[in-house]
Amino acid sequence: MPERDAAAASTAPSGGLGTAAARAVLARQARAELAALGARGQRLQLVDREPWRLGNLPAGRAREASVLMLFGPSDGAGIGVSDGAPIGPRDGTRAAAPVAETDVLILVRAATLRQHAGQPAFPGGRVDPEDRAAQDPAVEAALREAVEETGVDRAGIDVLGRLAPVPLPVSGHLVTPVLGWWREPSPVQVVDDAESSLVVRVPVRDLLDPSHRHLATVTRGTATHHTPAFTVPVGAESVTIWGFTGILLDRLLHRLGWELPWDATRRIPAPR
């Protein structure tokens, strides 16, 4: 069941959602709920849900890596309402939720890469030797990679905490998700065309829309596996977030109590 900090569960404004003040209240509420989760450093129970992708690593094989799950106040382009009520109800109701004014930073890997080509991802990568001098090497690696990949100004990011490392046997990495809040959003873009093809701020309301959710399937031999997936609009096109990134988003939104009921029987082959 989702665990929410009582101090973070303040009620959003009942009216005037279009005002700057109301948007600021919703953004502060979102930050508080993310911070409460980050402070506890909860394990998001990943291994038992996708055992084909996540699981224990052989002794001595793990290579440390981290990703930055960077949330922040949206640019105000749309308030995220449906039938006059904010998107993001809790427990099946239409109670106001902070997601109406929140987005998350996602990039799409270049199609020319040998691994994970064309796949959406959080900024991140391996913990390098220079990161070891930092107080928290995993956090330093996540921030450094985010700057290198998107050009984000790290001075405007508040680190809210880190979640339990996630073992990825397929790549031999032990990945630490780092939760961040974009206190002062800065311009972002593709820094290296050889590494990424797109950098985008995805509204959380689009991730929660039940019509955007499904299970992405991958068939290997006679076995078909699946992961949570989100197909969201990006300009005139769409991007499907699946795989490890989809798993992390799915678990985080569930733990926050932000997710809406969606059809988990809807299965679509993962993009190639």
Single-letter code of the amino acid located at 68: L
Whether 104 contacts 245, CB under 8 Å: no
Express each pLDDT in 111-131 by its tens digit: 777 666 678 999 999 999 999
Longest dimension (CA), the chain: 56
Rounded Cα gap, residues 116 and 235, in angstroms: 23
- pLDDT exceeds 80 at position 264: yes
149 CB neighbour count, 10 Å cutoff: 24
Which helix (H) or strand (E) is 247 found in, with range? helix 243-256
- Percent of the chain at pLDDT above 70? 76
- pLDDT exceeds 50 at position 48: no
Express each pLDDT in 120-161 by its tens digit: 999 999 999 999 999 999 999 999 999 999 999 999 999 999
- pLDDT exceeds 90 at position 186: yes
Rounded Cα gap, residues 70 and 92, in angstroms: 26
Query: Can you tell me whether residue 154 is helix, strand or coil?
Result: helix
User: Which pLDDT belongs to residue 166?
Assistant: 85
User: Which pLDDT belongs to residue 81?
Assistant: 30
Query: Can you tell me whether residue 137 is helix, strand or coil?
Result: helix
CA nearest neighbour of 174 among 55, 259, 16: 55
For the record, the structure tokens of 66 come out as 């981290």
Rounded Cα gap, residues 201 and 256, in angstroms: 19
- pLDDT exceeds 80 at position 15: no
CA distances to 77, 125, 239 from 235, in Å: 12, 27, 10
Rounded Cα gap, residues 79 and 81, in angstroms: 6
Which helix (H) or strand (E) is 69 found in, with range? strand 63-73
Local structure of residue 155 (DSSP, 8 states): G
